[in-house]
Amino acid sequence: MEDKMKSVPRLQLRRPSAVIIPRGKWLAVRILAVVAGILVVLLAIALAVVIILKTTPPYCSSGLESSAKNLENPGLFNDLTPKEMIAVRDYLLSQKRLNLISYENATVNSSYIFMISLQVPLKAAVLSFQAGVDRKPQRAAKVIVYRGDIEPPRVEEYVVGPLPIPKFYRVVTSPVYRRVPIPFTSRPVDSTERKQLKEFISIVTEELHSLFIESYNVTYHNCTPRRKNCIIFQDFAPRGTKSNERKTWFWAYRETEGFYLHPLGFAIQINHQKADSLDWSISGVIYNGQLFYELDDLIRRYDSGMLRKVSHSMDTVDAQFSTFTRRGHRSFDTPLRGPRLIEPDGHRYSVDDQFVHYFGWSFNFHMHPSTGLQILDVYFQGEKIAYEISLQDITAFYTGPEMAWVGLYGVSWLLGASSFELVPGIDCPATATFRDSYHFVNSGSPRRYKNSICIFEQTANTPLRRHYSNGGEGKFNFYGGLVSSNLVVRTIVSLWSCDYIIDYVFHLDATIELKISLTGYIQTTFDPAGQDRYGNRVHENVIGNLHQHLFFWKIDFDIETTSNRFQTLDMVTESGSTFWYSGAVNNTQLKFEAVLKENENEAIVKYDFDHPMHYIIYNMNADNKFNIHRGYRIINEAKSKFLLENSTVTNAAGWAKYQLAVTKYKDVEDSASSIYAQGDPFDPVLDFTRYLEDNDSIVDTDLVVWMTAGFHHIPRMEDVPSISTTANQARIFLRPYNFFNHCPSMAVSDALVIRRKINLDNLDADLSFETFGTDSDEPHCYQKEKHITEFEGKIHV
């Protein structure tokens, strides 16, 4: 058996032979696999793109065409172009007799150019050109020069022209200036002087290093802002307590985000009246509510323990409370985007250079470095409404032991040159039209303020007009309505701690709205003892001081022509028997009496709230179809009684006494305040009250309305970290009064009328929806927006 087994041959086990692929073919296979994979990925991407394209609506139409700012051929009211500014600068620097030096090399005791702006042509010349009876006025520049190298030093104003190639300059003196030559102490503090003041502070505070460390755990030298151990000094005005002084208080704050809410209770007053900084000196020091006239006296008393010391450091909570970092209850809030503006058919307005057109409205806008954004040459449906609407000044007058002397005049701090870049999506809708502005001020060359003006149409999300006709018993007669849309021209002035949102709003019913909204930080003082009469405590040892904001406007009406009148419609009561009833029936009713104001003194309206009245500017020679004089009514929704007439710091705000004043137009009375108001408000260079002294006739002549709006502000805890615009708005309305034969918004196609097609009594009858040619379907597009990351936050040289 064993032998048999041996005789059986064993199966030979062989490994199958491997398939051998040549190297070249294997490489081709790999390439094919990679290509196939790429194709699959590309097909997936293409499919995703198709799905996105089919589910994502396209961009809406851009709408009416607009054009960029024309820097080569500026219009009649256009700002100076950078080329014009440079031409004026170079021309004046070449005039050896002026002895001007470049701004970059300037010191306070030298002569240099402070500001270059447009010299607005005379109104008569503009109107003659527009009427086709005269040539276009030549462009010229107004130049303000600081003459610190002459004795006595002064400020001079020049007119330079024609542009773009200057050939002449001449010194000009406004006839309305009370003080000629313009005192050197009245000039605004510029970056040249501020630089030297900062150097002065740096030197004098070296001796205070130990005091700063021990009292506040901060210092002015060898500090790091990131560690929040630095001091920042902020100057306040006026600069002294009487005319011709230049003594400025510099208050100390902890340098951190929202430093306005971190006062330290330390201040230095510097006397910088002289043009030579070597003659400057310290005239006062405040430490923890104690006044010293010499720095050495403070140091001596501090070192010897002969004063009330303070120990005030900042913890984590202190560092956060003034910031915009999100905090508070969050359980109710999910990070979701809010409503956005959509214009299904694109912009319904156009901006051609600095000329705007919107539903019959047409006007120019202009940005002046000191007074800011202005509206010029306003027409509605081809008929003249106004020649100029402009803000003249913003003031804030404070109270409290440390702030009672503070009165701030915005025009001196340069409203236009303080109107910085706007953030799309917050400051203005992201779909708005943005425009740059150019200023030559506080610099040796023109500077571009990117996106400092925005223009947009918005809906108020409320009807402009509507009516639902109820037939009773459930019967519907008809419905008519029009959504309230309007055009806004906006800039935002960042001044001191505050931000002022300036809006010129043009409504479809021919109403113009002037609106200022307040936000930003409140101004605070260090107050360990409590000053409840002058404000509320908003943080440990910090008081938000009571103050009054005032806004002064100029409105140069031209109702069809320059021949206008001013009247009030006084509300009175009358008593007597009625035609319909006899006996003991209420026989008292209202009526109005039209009172024509014949001269400027009669047209002064003070704060008398006991006698309601309407204010009307009208044209005696222009009537509607019922022979009623066409006019505009002036409505002030922000009347704020001025209580500080006896305060000398308000002398430069003589206009604040009046709710309204009307004067005869004069070219020399082109503004009601000046950049010199802050430097010397006690004996101002320009005093508006003098405009009323000649008591001109204001019947059938060119009229200018001057209006004051504002409000008192007692800061509260909810104003931290910043003031909300809610209920902090000052609005003035210019509203047509018998100017048209019906509401002019009736011409707008974006309206709706709903009627029954057959029988009003048939509740089941079909309804007709009349949209006057306007598409009422749901939008199938979205607006192209500017992204917040386009914000740069800088001024371009």
Average model confidence (pLDDT) across the chain: 91
CB 549 within 8 A of CB 713: yes
Q: Work out the percent of the chain whose per-residue pLDDT is above 90.
A: 75
Q: Which of 356-365, 368-377, 527-536, 648-657 has the lowest mean pLDDT?
A: 527-536
Q: Which of 14-23, 52-61, 166-175, 421-430 has the lowest mean pLDDT?
A: 14-23
State the CATH architecture for 191-321. Roll (3.10)
Dist CA 374 CA 453 (whole Å): 11
pLDDT at residue 772 tops 60: yes
DSSP assignments along 204-249, one per residue:
HGGGGHHHHHHHHS-BSSS--GGGT-BEEEEEESSSSSSTT--EEE
Dist CA 536 CA 545 (whole Å): 7
Superfamily of structural domain 384-395+456-747: Copper amine oxidase, catalytic domain (2.70.98.20)
Residues contacting residue 328 through CB under 8 Å, at least 6 positions apart: none
Q: How far is CA 702 from CA 135, 269, 600, 614, in A?
A: 22, 47, 12, 20
Token pair in block for residue 258: 């929202």
| pLDDT tens digits for range 27-59 | 776 777 777 778 877 887 877 666 655 556 688
Dist CA 250 CA 282 (whole Å): 11
Is the pTM value of this prediction over 0.85?
yes
Token pair in block for residue 259: 């430093």
Token pair in block for residue 90: 């170079």
Dist CA 43 CA 143 (whole Å): 66
pLDDT of 797 reads 82
Pick 82-172's CATH classification: 3.10.450.40, 3.40.50.720, 1.10.3720.10, 3.30.70.260: 3.10.450.40
Mean pLDDT of 257-278: 96
Question: CB neighbours (10 Å) of residue 624?
Answer: 14
Q: What are phi and psi of 399, to 5 degrees?
A: -130, 170
Of 707, 644, 657, 651, which is closest to residue 677 (Cα–Cα)?
651
pLDDT at residue 356 tops 60: yes
| pLDDT tens digits for range 665-710 | 999 999 999 999 999 999 999 999 999 999 999 999 999 999 999 9
CB 659 within 8 A of CB 607: yes
Please name every residue paired with 486 in a beta bridge, in sequence order, or none if there are none. Answer: 458, 507
Mean pLDDT of 485-510: 98
Question: CB neighbours (10 Å) of residue 257?
Answer: 14
Of 294, 295, 252, 244, which is closest to residue 274 (Cα–Cα)?
244
Torsional sign, CA 580, 585, 586, 588 = positive
pLDDT of 7 reads 44
- The radius of gyration of the chain from alpha carbons, rounded to an integer in Å, stands at 35
Dist CA 497 CA 81 (whole Å): 30
Strands 535-539 and 542-545: antiparallel
- The Cα angle at residue 197 between residues 241 and 214, in degrees rounded to 5: 90
pLDDT bracket for residue 540 (50, 70, 90): confident
Dist CA 412 CA 394 (whole Å): 10
Mean pLDDT of 133-149: 97
Q: What are phi and psi of 343, to 5 degrees?
A: -115, 95
Indicate the length of the chain as a whole number.
Answer: 797
pLDDT bracket for residue 318 (50, 70, 90): confident
Question: Which is more confidently placed, 8 or 234?
Answer: 234
pLDDT at residue 528 tops 90: no
Strands 263-271 and 247-254: antiparallel
Residues contacting residue 488 through CB under 8 Å, at least 6 positions apart: 454, 455, 456, 457, 458, 503, 504, 505, 506
Dist CA 110 CA 277 (whole Å): 12
pLDDT of 50 reads 61
pLDDT at residue 360 tops 90: yes
Per-domain residue ranges of the chain: 82-172, 191-321, 384-395+456-747
Say yes or no: do domains 82-172 and 384-395+456-747 share a fold.
Answer: no
Dist CA 633 CA 493 (whole Å): 28
Q: What are phi and psi of 787, to 5 degrees?
A: -90, 150
Among all chains, which residue has been given the structure tokens 């009208």? 618
pLDDT of 687 reads 97
pLDDT at residue 8 tops 70: no
Dist CA 127 CA 133 (whole Å): 9
DSSP letter assigned to residue 778: P
Dist CA 375 CA 367 (whole Å): 9
Dist CA 271 CA 284 (whole Å): 9
What H or E segment, with its residue span, contains residue 301? helix 295-304
Q: How far is CA 66 from CA 351, 355, 433, 437, in A?
A: 5, 10, 9, 17
Residues contacting residue 337 through CB under 8 Å, at least 6 positions apart: none
| pLDDT tens digits for range 143-194 | 999 999 999 999 999 999 999 999 999 999 999 999 999 999 999 999 999 9
Find the helix packing angle between 295-304 and 209-216, rounded to 10°: 50
Strands 154-161 and 263-271: unpaired
Question: 458 by DSSP, 3-state: which?
Answer: strand
Q: Which of 265-269, 492-496, 760-764 has the lowest mean pLDDT?
A: 760-764
Dist CA 49 CA 69 (whole Å): 38
Of 405, 395, 411, which is closest to residue 712 (Cα–Cα)?
395
Token pair in block for residue 531: 């000053």
